[in-house]
Amino acid sequence: MLRKTTPFSRHLNFQPQQKLQPLKERLLIILKQCVSTKTAEQIHTQMLIHSVDKPNFLLAKLIDLKDFSYSYRFFTSMHQPNDYAFNVMIRGLATTWNQFDLTLQLYYKMKGLGIKPNNFTYPFLFIACSNLVAVEHGKLGHCMVLRCGLMADGHVRHSLITMYSKCDEVWYARKVFDEITERDLVSWNSMISGYSKDGFSWGCFGVV
């Protein structure tokens, strides 16, 4: 009687070029290539069995597969998530699943654990603040960005300008814009869009 095979078992057992590799390495390669949560779950089980300790790699893949329930459940099961784990989870919450309240909660949990947010954290915090119109949280984030010297990062600046614009705080958006020494196209567009949204057409001319 033929044994029923799964996509995972076929990949694991019938890849000749991978049979010479250690099992742990093969599992990571298969995980990188998998395209379904079901397969990822099977790989996760094998990783636990064979003590393959790569939680960040697995978390990033689960988020890439857009499975919110499994991704968040796995994240909350991590013993000591580091800044990378928090950042990829915050990014997924803010951009893939639109879980903006949860994004803010995770940001404050990150800080509460003594893990320092960085330039990979704040753009997604500001996206959440924009969508929640939570400008006070955005302003607190802005203060932390200044304190940590992160204003040189283009993604941080652009998301900050957009956040203030969407929260009807064009004056703050313009202040951030004016402090940029080397403005790129995204900065200009973000500022002009902010003025246009609030009906300050005259402000667009002042920017350009």
Give per-residue pLDDT as tens, 17-50: 555 478 899 999 999 999 999 999 999 999 999 9
Q: Is residue 37 part of a domain?
A: yes
What total number of domains does the chain contain? 1
Distance between terminal CA atoms of the chain?
75
Question: Along the 208 residues of the chain, how does pLDDT read in single tens digits?
Answer: 444 556 555 555 545 555 547 889 999 999 999 999 999 999 999 999 999 999 999 999 999 999 999 999 999 999 999 999 999 999 999 999 999 999 999 999 999 999 999 999 999 999 999 999 999 999 999 999 999 999 999 999 999 999 999 999 999 999 999 999 888 888 888 888 878 776 655 555 455 5
H-helix segments, 65-184: 68-77, 83-91, 100-112, 122-132, 135-147, 154-166, 170-178
Range of the domain at 21: 11-53
On whether residue 41 sits in a domain, the answer given is yes
Sign of CA dihedral 55, 56, 58, 59: positive
Tens digit of each residue's pLDDT (9 = 90 or more) over 151-164? 999 999 999 999 99
**Assigned domain for 42 exists:** yes
On whether the pTM is more than 0.85, the answer is yes
Examine residue 202 and state whether it is found in any structural domain, yes or no. Answer: no
In the numeric block, the tokens 């920017």 are attached to 207
Q: Is residue 24 part of a domain?
A: yes
Amino acid identity, position 63: I
